[in-house]
Amino acid sequence: MKRALTVLGALALATTACSGSGGNVPGAGTGKGPVTVRWSTWGSAEDVKVYEKFTEDFQRRHPDIRLKLESVAKYEDYHPKLLTQLTSKTAPDVIFVGDDYIGKFVSSGVITPLDDKLAGPDSKSRPEDFFDGVYGGAKRDGKIYAVPNDTNPEVLWYDKKALKDAGITEDPATLNESGQWTMPKYLDMNAKLKAAGKAGSIFWNWYGSTYSMINGFGGKVWDGGKFVATTDTKAREALSTLAKGYQDKTFLSADTLPDSNGPSTQFLKHKAGFYAGGRWVVDSLRKGGELDDYDIVPFPSPTGDPMPGAVAASYLALNKDTKLPKEAFTFLTEFVGKEGQMLRLQGGGAVPSVKGAEQVVLAEGYPKHAQTFIDVRDTGFANYPEEVAVPGLTAAINEQLLKVWSGKVGFDQGMTELQQLVQSKLG
């Protein structure tokens, strides 16, 4: 699942409607007033408050720079439009890029390498301030082409009441702290929840949940540049377990649940024991749940030892053809820097991608084991560079897997088709 990363009709109206890289730049190089840095993202106007405080603070401290946000409501429409703008030299100066498209933008040569700028005197965010695993496809051949603006580590939220109702007396977070949080233990809890008339776990059909389960079985998704999830014994076992679980309703696919009885509703009504997601789940719990009923734990490993978990990420990059490289970078580095992320993410649904801003997650003391978000981020991984290098590959994999989860395609046939699909995309 792709968490909407927000936008804003209202914010766009609050900023100067001037042009940046693609048109006239009032005041650029003339000293006759502020210049306008255009930047773009995807999402709905409902998320405007995420950026309001940052924009107001930035423009107060930089009266010579105005910010103009250009948004596209749907994620699937955003990148095609942006690639067209980049080709026609009309793109914004600073751009958000999703983790499944960043490889394409890097290989197309449309964004500026940031190493020298990040290491320079004007930078508020050094290359080493970000955890290596979260760079994902934004790093190629040792060069940094974009920086993660924030993250959402994938964890397992669990409902203490649902577990108790199913006769489960062990606490997942306590097991994790003692090195006993294993995949067999987790699957046993799911079976008990199913026997008690509840769903074991709710997953969104995206790489974060699927690949975390594969890791939890000790399997591999990519190895030496090759897609091996269908042939690696442990990976195939994980995928088979998921398929069987979806079909007997031990697992529920959040993507296919009706809006009237969606994943958040079922979790709040104690109809499921676990719900895989990020910090964004907090907002749903605040609106309708007894907060003390819920906590988080990492995905389990085969042995109980810590393992790398999936981290959802999106990136901020500089348009190679921007006419305002200095001002655009000022915006970018402050947006992703420690102070910028702390300002943007207070009470929000994401986890900082930069070192030193952890307090924004830990300050509220919720959930009890909020440190788990930080631990998964620090040791986790964004989607595999081999996969994100091919636009649409992740979406195609997810679509094929959904056919398997729903039983529309048999497991063995589905795995054969999945391998063929990936090979055809890789060329």
pLDDT for the residue numbered 15:
34
pLDDT at 20 over 80: no
Q: Do the domains 155-309+392-426 and 9-151+313-379 match in fold?
A: yes
Q: What is the mean pLDDT of residues 410-424?
A: 98
Q: Give the model's confidence band at 392: pLDDT under 50 very low, under 70 low, under 90 confident, else very high.
A: confident
C-alpha to C-alpha distance for 203 and 185, rounded to whole angstroms: 18
C-alpha to C-alpha distance for 65 and 334, rounded to whole angstroms: 13
pLDDT for the residue numbered 25:
42
Q: What is the mean pLDDT of residues 149-178?
A: 97
Q: What is the mean pLDDT of residues 14-24?
A: 35
Render pLDDT for 259-294 as a digit per residue (tens, 0 to 9).
Answer: 999 999 999 999 999 999 999 999 889 888 789 999
pLDDT at 35 over 80: yes
pLDDT for the residue numbered 349:
87
pLDDT at 145 over 80: yes
pLDDT at 375 over 80: yes
Q: Are 214 and 208 in contact (CB under 8 A)?
A: no
pLDDT at 12 over 90: no
| Domain 9-151+313-379 class, CATH top level | alpha beta
The residue assigned the tokens 């502020």 is 34
Structure tokens at 166: 């199913």
C-alpha to C-alpha distance for 291 and 297, rounded to whole angstroms: 15
Render pLDDT for 339-369 as a digit per residue (tens, 0 to 9).
Answer: 999 998 887 789 999 999 999 999 989 999 9
Structure tokens at 361: 């997650």
Structure tokens at 143: 């060069």
Average pLDDT for the chain: 90
pLDDT for the residue numbered 187:
98
In sequence order, the β-bridge partners of residue 199 are 272
| Domain 155-309+392-426 class, CATH top level | alpha beta
pLDDT for the residue numbered 49:
66
pLDDT for the residue numbered 230:
98
DSSP string, 331-399: HHHHHHSHHHHHHHHTTSS-B-SBTT-THHHHTT--STTTHHHHHHHHH-BPSPHHHHTSTTHHHHHHH
pLDDT for the residue numbered 4:
37
Mode of pairing for the β-strands spanning 94-98 and 35-42: parallel
Q: What is the mean pLDDT of residues 207-221?
A: 97
pLDDT at 322 over 50: yes
Q: What is the mean pLDDT of residues 237-260?
A: 97
**In sequence order, which ranges of 16-113 are alpha helices (DSSP H)?**
49-61, 75-87, 102-108
pLDDT for the residue numbered 368:
96
Q: Give the model's confidence band at 48: pLDDT under 50 very low, under 70 low, under 90 confident, else very high.
A: low
pLDDT for the residue numbered 167:
98
pLDDT for the residue numbered 32:
63
The residue assigned the tokens 């009504």 is 269
**Domain range summary for the chain, segments of one domain joined by +:** 9-151+313-379, 155-309+392-426
Q: Is 84 helix (H, G, I), strand (E, B) or coil?
A: helix
pLDDT at 390 over 60: yes
pLDDT at 222 over 80: yes
Which amino acid appears at position 38 of this protein? Answer: R
pLDDT at 6 over 60: no
